[in-house]
Amino acid sequence: MKDWPYDVFPTGWYQIGYSAELAPGEVRPVKYFDQDLVLFRTEQGEVALLDAYCAHLGAHLGYGGKVKGDCIECPFHGWLWTAQGALSEIPYAPGETRRVGLDRWETREVDGLIIAWYDGFGRAPWWEWPGIREFKDGAGCYPIYPQGADHIGVRKIIPQSPVENTPDYYHFMWVHGSGQPGKPLLWEEEGHYLRTRIGFVFGHGKQSTWLTPDGPVAGEIETEAWGLGLSNARFVLDGFITSQLTAATPVDREHSQLFDTITCTREPGSDDPEPSGTAARMLEFQKGQIRRDFAIWENQRYVEHPPFAGGEEEHYARFRRWSRQFYVNAPESEQV
């Protein structure tokens, strides 16, 4: 995004992949937060994210590094590093140790996603990510993997943009083709966590749509954000729920890697892993809708003091205030 005023990446949890796409023994070079990193899974199944460059003579472990047990072996001289970044062994100098290590990044696997903690000051996680209830509900919802896991790729988008949709009740009319703006019903902040509910009439002004064959239906969008890296929108319509998680992970100052993960209520009576009927159509529809947002975000300029209208400022101001905590030098509780 142009004219972005901050020079730090926001603190928080960020998605760096899907569990199903990193098998034991797999090694991958990755770049996040303007740093070269190596991502791997040990033979025991632990995920590790370390600084890419070997502390011996600087080889990139992501290119040719091999998993050996619970370590990664450098392709240059074979030094072995543990998943925690500690030096385990120098194969040609047994018994010798050096006081060196690799920076290690906290990771978790939650609901089929691999996430990593970023804090510009190296502090430990302030919170844990609880995941998404529908992603855990294999009986009631379709599995997110593989059909619900959408790799959007690296885009010129900053993590704040997706979450900033939360207070934007008017954009639904222009970007998503809804006949009316969203109606704010709830705004709840709890530290790093923001939850809202937005009232909506699905199929507004139309006699019949594929989603609302019997005419317009009042529904809700429940949004949840945990920091700026992970935010979920839950579309609730007559007991039919679609849950869509947007994850934006900074690659450099202007670009993020985007993931869109989605599931919905199963078709009545179906235990098929593949969505069908209205469920399949809803998932495709929402994947298309989020792409409309991406097209705006990647070409947008950041406006620090927008000329708000129609009551926009109330929730926008709250959102911007809430979002600032992730850019500051210390958690709010530690600020003086």
* β-bridge mates for residue 235, sequence order: 221, 242
Q: Is 68 in the site for ligand FES (CB under 6 A)?
A: no
Q: Which of 27, 50, 67, 74 binds ligand FES (CB under 6 A)?
A: 74
Q: Is 165 in the site for Fe ion (CB under 5 A)?
A: yes
Q: Is 54 in the site for ligand FES (CB under 6 A)?
A: yes
Q: How does DSSP classify residue 11?
A: P
Q: How far is the CB of 79 from ligand FES (least distance, A)?
A: 4
Q: Is 77 in the site for ligand FES (CB under 6 A)?
A: yes
Judge residue 208's burial from the number of C-beta atoms within 10 Å of its C-beta, 0-12 exposed, 13-18 middle, 19 or more buried. exposed
Contact partner at residue 110 from Fe ion, ligand FES, none, CB < 5 to 8 Å by partner kind: none
Q: Within a 10 A sphere around the Cβ of 74, how many other Cβ atoms?
A: 23
Nearer to Fe ion, 165 or 242 (CB): 165
Sheet containing strand 71-73, strands side by side: 66-68, 71-73, 80-82, 87-89
Return the range that interacts with ligand FES (CB under 6 A); candidates 29-37, 38-46, 75-83, 102-110.
75-83
Alpha carbons 288 and 161: distance in angstroms, whole number: 17
Query: Is the Cβ–Cβ distance between 87 and 98 less than 8 Å?
Result: yes
Q: How far is the CB of 29 from ligand FES (least distance, A)?
A: 14
Task: At 297, list the tokens.
Answer: 């975000």
Residue 164, φ and ψ in degrees, nearest 5: -70, -5
Q: Is 193 in the site for ligand FES (CB under 6 A)?
A: no
Return the range that interacts with ligand FES (CB under 6 A); candidates 74-82, 210-218, 247-255, 290-298.
74-82
Nearer to ligand FES, 76 or 285 (CB): 76
* Strand 47-51 with 66-68, pairing: unpaired
Contact partner at residue 165 from Fe ion, ligand FES, none, CB < 5 to 8 Å by partner kind: Fe ion
Q: How far is the CB of 129 from Fe ion (least distance, A)?
A: 22
Judge residue 154's burial from the number of C-beta atoms within 10 Å of its C-beta, 0-12 exposed, 13-18 middle, 19 or more buried. middle
Q: Is 48 in the site for ligand FES (CB under 6 A)?
A: no
Site residues for Fe ion per CB under 5 A: 165, 293
